[in-house]
Structure 1
Amino acid sequence: MSEMINNREQHTTEYSSERLEKLKQIFKELQSGKNIDEVKARFDKEIGKGSIEEMSKLQHDFNENGEMTLEEVKRIYTLHTEILKGSVEEIELPTNPEDEPGHPVHTFKLENREIAKLLETRLHVHLIEFAKEDSEENVYKLLEDCNLLLDIDKHYSRKENLIFPYLETYGIMGPSTNMWRIDDFIRDAIKDARQKLMNYNGDKQAVIDIVNYCIREVSDMIYREENILFPMALMNFTEDEWVKIAHESDEVGFCLTEPAAEWKPERKAISEKAMSEGFIKLETGILSLKQLELMLNHLPVDITFIDQDDVVRYFSQGTERIFVRTKAVIGRTVQNCHPPRSVHVVEELLADFKAGKKDVEDFYIKFRDKYVYIRYFAVRDENGEYIGTLEFTQNIDPIRAINGEKRILS
């Protein structure tokens, strides 16, 4: 194994509980409305530079009671970033894997350069032109920019579904609760900007405000990723984990660019264990493991199984997945696989299943170009004991389009 594989054991910064408590008090001053310049001055004087570990612990869900309004949460996130800019210690690793073309962090940073270029050379420029004259042409330019910026969803999805799960295994929960929430704010803001531009009614200031918000928050997110998230991941993840992340990134897709190369660490490639050729005897038949997996993957639906402890144990891999799933979710609690704003729905549903109040729950939503039917089933054993939940997801547009009868082969 390379030296990098155990870097988390060699590069852990020591910090005191007193220092962390002081940091929390400083940030509480922000929430109480104290002037940001005064808070920043105290931070610089009493803290100076904060470590990656401190930043992670500091930002672990400051709104855990859910008492703050959405606007207040957004305001605090922005203030946090203003305080932290230039105040996070740089870390030194024995190697710089993120400099290797194709490494997941190299690709994330490559995307960030393209995102920043889109903000600076297009969105910002076109917003100035729009502010001077809200002509049809200038509205269209901004709309085109927002359409491009929406590709950031792939960047954020890879981060949420591949980076966050591994951080959680090391007890680092802040990104899953806070950064995912900010990602959602940004996604919603870009969609809001698109809607305002597609249905432009002359409210110039509304467009200026929402586009400025997008520019500011996306820029701040680039800072958060490159100065806190990626260094945190590089300090902790093994080379094997990075290889798995790189391998699964294709399933989610890339934003505005592609990886510069296929990343091949200077060691023997990881060989995946061959699937056992054993058989499973079921109540109504016998199947090989290969037959069972192929059968599940050929169903025209997505299936996910969550055990009695809310841990994701399995998902099918059909040819047309509706929602992003990566192998990193296996062994992860289902609550951490959903955006923070929808976790309460998941927890309420599972509580009802466990208590025996419900056996099934259905949802149906418009998702991109599909009409999606999502069904949840409580799975119980022969004694009625709850052993998990089965999620069943299907694009039912083709079914809704059926009419008449069909009795012959195509």
Structure 2
Amino acid sequence: MSEMINNREKIELTADLRQEKLKEIILELHNGKSVEDVKAKFEEAVGSISVKEISQLEQALMQEGISVSEIQSLCSVHAEVFKGSIEDIHRSEQPEEQPGHPVHTFKLENKEIDKLVNFKIQLHFERFQQDDSKEHALKLVEDLNLLYDVDKHYSRKENLLFPYLEKYGIFGPTQVMWGVDDRIRDSIKKAKQLLTDYNGNKSEVMDTLYFVIREVTEMIFKEEHILFPMALNTLTEDEWIKIANESDEIGYCLTAPEKVWVPKRNEVDEEALSDGYIRFETGLLSIKQLELLLNHLPVDITFIDQNDVVRYFSHGKERIFARTKAVIGRTVQNCHPPRSVHTVEQLLKDFKSGEKDCEDFWIRFKDKYVLIRYFAVRDEEGSYLGTLEFTQNISPIQEITGEKRILSE
């Protein structure tokens, strides 16, 4: 027994010394040492590091008197130093690999964010660098409109995941990461504004875009190698269920969960899930019947809620305008090109103020003549609840002549 106690004391002492060494290394960075010098010392003195130790390290630095803002400025350097040295956390079960689990969804989004930033935006960044034409500036504005969807990714992390970590006394990483998230949001807005009002200040645009690309990429690494493993080793399954259930309210970034996550202990037959019924004032339909009914309508329907967020679209056989599940949870303004956003804004303003209840447009689109109708959705008291978009190809209707009173052969 005494031997076990002595071994435990040795382990605790080793952990304390390790923590001190890590603290010394970060403080050296803080005092101006180069990343390469510190990285070499880190590898020699420490070897590998667990996500738990990174969390403890950031909190220890805060207790030492280093402000959150200073730690945020070192955050990218931390990631560079720790790359390739963070231990894999082995679990007997890996719920984050199950589609619909919040971490699985976060990682799914990170893949799309990475593709957008390091392929599409990087390409347009290089083209703008060579030729700062209006065309190239507009391409980047459209890219940044898409990228600002990252706000939903960060908001779910900050408002759903962080509170649970803080419940377990993990404050350092959450405060540091939230600050970096805000800097990324501000930089995306700044880059978009600089490009929209471009007046030849090319170097400022390039610096801001470079910052966005670098920080978004670094944040993906920090989430997947530090935040998510730490959260998976801390939160209970019940807490993950609550996060998954509340995620729809905030929405998703560039993609959406592949399916609803049902933990093994709660697994039920898929048919049983679809047997739910909805009672309307004029009838009763199963969820399956309602979905099929909406998808069989010869029109496309999209619903935007009172906060301008896309909540639903029908999925018929031949949609006129392409829709993907990634639009669910996005603001409708970010689903339109910059040149038409002002029209969307005015339409919603008129609906919300009560000045209008509907608006119609008709356009030629490929081989179709398309009628697009918008209706303000209001409750019994007249309060605005959202907007219904109704799209239909009216070419076949315009071709109708005479009368038809018998069945087709």
TM, length-normalised to structure 1: 0.61
> Match of 1:383?
none
> Match of 2:81?
83
Structure 2: distance between partners of 1:172 and 1:63? 12
> Match of 2:25?
26
Q: Report the Cα offset of residue 28 of structure 1.
A: 0.2
> Match of 1:184?
182
> Match of 2:43?
44
Correspondence list, 1:74-153, <5 A: 75-153=73-151
Q: Which runs of 4+ in 1 moved over 3 A?
A: 61-70, 72-75, 319-322
Q: Report the Cα offset of residue 88 of structure 1.
A: 1.0
The one-letter code sitting in structure 2 at the alignment partner of 1:223 is F
Deviations 1:223-247 (A, max 9, x none): 0000000000111111111111100
1:53 aligns to 2:68 (yes or no):
no
Percent of pairs identical after alignment? 50
Structure 2: distance between partners of 1:181 and 1:117? 24
> Match of 2:291?
none
Query: Any idea what SS the aligned residue of 2:233 has?
Result: helix
Structure 1: distance between partners of 2:57 and 2:15? 13
The structure number with the bigger radius of gyration is 2
Deviations 1:50-76 (A, max 9, x none): 111110011238467988796x66542
> Match of 2:393?
none
Do the aligned partners of residues 119 and 92 (structure 1) sit closer, same or farther apart at CA in structure 2, a change above 3 Å counting?
A: same
**Residue 128 of structure 2 contacts residue 137 of structure 2 at CA under 8 Å; is this kept in 1?**
yes
**Residue 101 of structure 1 contacts residue 260 of structure 1 at CA under 8 Å; is this kept in 2?**
yes
Query: Any idea what SS the aligned residue of 2:92 has?
Result: coil
Q: Report the Cα offset of residue 171 of structure 1.
A: 1.3
**Residue 103 of structure 1 contacts residue 242 of structure 1 at CA under 8 Å; is this kept in 2?**
yes
Do the aligned partners of residues 46 and 131 (structure 1) sit closer, same or farther apart at CA in structure 2, a change above 3 Å counting?
A: same
Structure 1: distance between partners of 2:89 and 2:162? 20
**Residue 101 of structure 2 contacts residue 240 of structure 2 at CA under 8 Å; is this kept in 1?**
yes
Q: Report the Cα offset of residue 211 of structure 1.
A: 0.5
Q: Report the Cα offset of residue 218 of structure 1.
A: 0.4
**Residue 121 of structure 2 contacts residue 143 of structure 2 at CA under 8 Å; is this kept in 1?**
yes
Structure 2: distance between partners of 1:73 and 1:131? 32
Structure 2: distance between partners of 1:85 and 1:262? 33
Structure 2: distance between partners of 1:61 and 1:48? 20
Deviations 1:8-28 (A, max 9, x none): xxxxx9761221111001100
Q: Report the Cα offset of residue 179 of structure 1.
A: 0.5
Structure 2: distance between partners of 1:192 and 1:61? 34
Gaps of 5+ in 2: 1-10, 269-304, 309-344, 346-351, 355-380, 383-409
The one-letter code sitting in structure 2 at the alignment partner of 1:107 is T
With a CA cutoff of 8 Å and minimum separation of 6, indicate the structure with the bigger relative contact order: 1
1:226 aligns to 2:224 (yes or no):
yes
Structure 1: distance between partners of 2:186 and 2:41? 34
Do the aligned partners of residues 73 and 203 (structure 1) sit closer, same or farther apart at CA in structure 2, a change above 3 Å counting?
A: farther
Structure 2: distance between partners of 1:113 and 1:97? 18
Correspondence list, 1:11-410, <5 A: 16-60=15-59, 62=61, 75-268=73-266
The one-letter code sitting in structure 1 at the alignment partner of 2:213 is I
Structure 1: distance between partners of 2:190 and 2:109? 23
The one-letter code sitting in structure 2 at the alignment partner of 1:36 is V
1 or 2, which has the higher helix percentage?
Answer: 2
Do the aligned partners of residues 66 and 26 (structure 1) sit closer, same or farther apart at CA in structure 2, a change above 3 Å counting?
A: closer
Do the aligned partners of residues 138 and 222 (structure 1) sit closer, same or farther apart at CA in structure 2, a change above 3 Å counting?
A: same
Structure 2: distance between partners of 1:39 and 1:245? 38
Structure 2: distance between partners of 1:69 and 1:110? 29
Structure 1: distance between partners of 2:81 and 2:95? 29
Structure 1: distance between partners of 2:191 and 2:65? 27
Deviations 1:247-289 (A, max 9, x none): 000011000001011111111379xxxxxxxxxxxxxxxxxxx
Do the aligned partners of residues 228 and 25 (structure 1) sit closer, same or farther apart at CA in structure 2, a change above 3 Å counting?
A: same
Q: Report the Cα offset of residue 121 of structure 1.
A: 2.0
Tell me the number of residue pairs that the alignment of Structure 1 and Structure 2 aligns: 269
Structure 2: distance between partners of 1:90 and 1:17? 21
Query: Any idea what SS the aligned residue of 1:60 has?
Result: helix
Deviations 1:14-45 (A, max 9, x none): 76122111100110000000111110000000
The one-letter code sitting in structure 1 at the alignment partner of 2:101 is H
Structure 1: distance between partners of 2:31 and 2:205? 30
Structure 1: distance between partners of 2:67 and 2:204? 24
Query: Any idea what SS the aligned residue of 2:229 has?
Result: helix
Query: Any idea what SS the aligned residue of 2:264 has?
Result: coil
Q: Report the Cα offset of residue 321 of structure 1.
A: 7.3
Query: Any idea what SS the aligned residue of 2:259 has?
Result: coil
The one-letter code sitting in structure 1 at the alignment partner of 2:99 is P
**Residue 62 of structure 2 contacts residue 68 of structure 2 at CA under 8 Å; is this kept in 1?**
no
> Match of 2:349?
none
Do the aligned partners of residues 77 and 124 (structure 1) sit closer, same or farther apart at CA in structure 2, a change above 3 Å counting?
A: same
Do the aligned partners of residues 69 and 53 (structure 1) sit closer, same or farther apart at CA in structure 2, a change above 3 Å counting?
A: closer
> Match of 1:294?
none
**Residue 98 of structure 1 contacts residue 104 of structure 1 at CA under 8 Å; is this kept in 2?**
yes
